Amino acid sequence: MRSPCDLAGLGVLVTRPAAQAEHLCGLILGANGRPLPFPTVEIRPGPDPRGARTLLTRDWDLVIFVSTNAVDRALALGADGHWPGARHLAAVGRATALALEAAGRAPDLVPTGRYDSESLLAMPALARMADQRVLIVRGQDGRALLGDELSRRGAVVHYAEVYRRVIPDAPGAPLLQRWHRDVQVVTATSDEILRNLIALLGDAGLPLLLRTPLVVISTRSAETARDLGFEQVLVAERAEDSAILRAICILAGPGPSANDLHRSDQG
Which of 165, 193, 227 is at the close of a domain?
Answer: 165
Residue 6 lies in a domain: no
Residue 76: pLDDT band with limits 50, 70, 90: very high
Average pLDDT across the chain, whole number: 91
Residue 90 lies in a domain: yes
Residue 120 lies in a domain: yes
The count of structural domains within the chain is 2
C-alpha distance across the termini of the chain, in Å:
29
Residues 89 and 186 reside in one and the same domain? no
pTM: 0.80
Residues 123 and 184 reside in one and the same domain? no
Residues 54 and 161 reside in one and the same domain? yes
Residue 240: pLDDT band with limits 50, 70, 90: confident
Residue 1 lies in a domain: no
For residue 1, the model assigns a pLDDT of 63
Which residues of 55-213 form beta strands (DSSP E)? 60-65, 86-91, 133-139, 156-166, 185-187
Which of 137, 165, 193 is at the close of a domain?
Answer: 165
Residues 82 and 159 reside in one and the same domain? yes
Residues 54 and 148 reside in one and the same domain? yes
For residue 30, the model assigns a pLDDT of 95
Cα separation values, 128 from 64, 144, 148, 199, 247, Å: 16, 19, 14, 42, 36
What's the CA gap between 96 and 241, in Å, rounded?
13
Domain harbouring 243, CATH code: 3.40.50.10090
Which whole number is the average pLDDT over 9-38?
Answer: 95
For residue 116, the model assigns a pLDDT of 81
Residue 50: pLDDT band with limits 50, 70, 90: very high
Residue 82 lies in a domain: yes
What's the CA gap between 121 and 253, in Å, rounded?
36
Residue 253: pLDDT band with limits 50, 70, 90: confident
- Closest by CA position to 213, among listed 230, 195, 235, 229: 230
Residues 130 and 178 reside in one and the same domain? no
13 bridge partner residues: 36, 186
For residue 243, the model assigns a pLDDT of 92
Element holding 13 (H helix, E strand): strand 11-14
Q: Is 223 exposed, middle or buried (0-12, 13-18, 19+ CB in 10 A)?
A: middle
- Closest by CA position to 243, among listed 19, 13, 10, 23: 23
Whether residue 3 has pLDDT greater than 90: no
Per the structure, the complete domain to which residue 232 belongs is given by 11-41+169-266
Residue 182 lies in a domain: yes
Instruction: Give tens-digit pLDDT for 108-163.
Output: 999 987 778 889 999 999 999 999 999 999 999 888 999 999 999 999 999 999 99
For residue 266, the model assigns a pLDDT of 34
Is the Cβ–Cβ distance between 109 and 90 less than 8 Å? yes
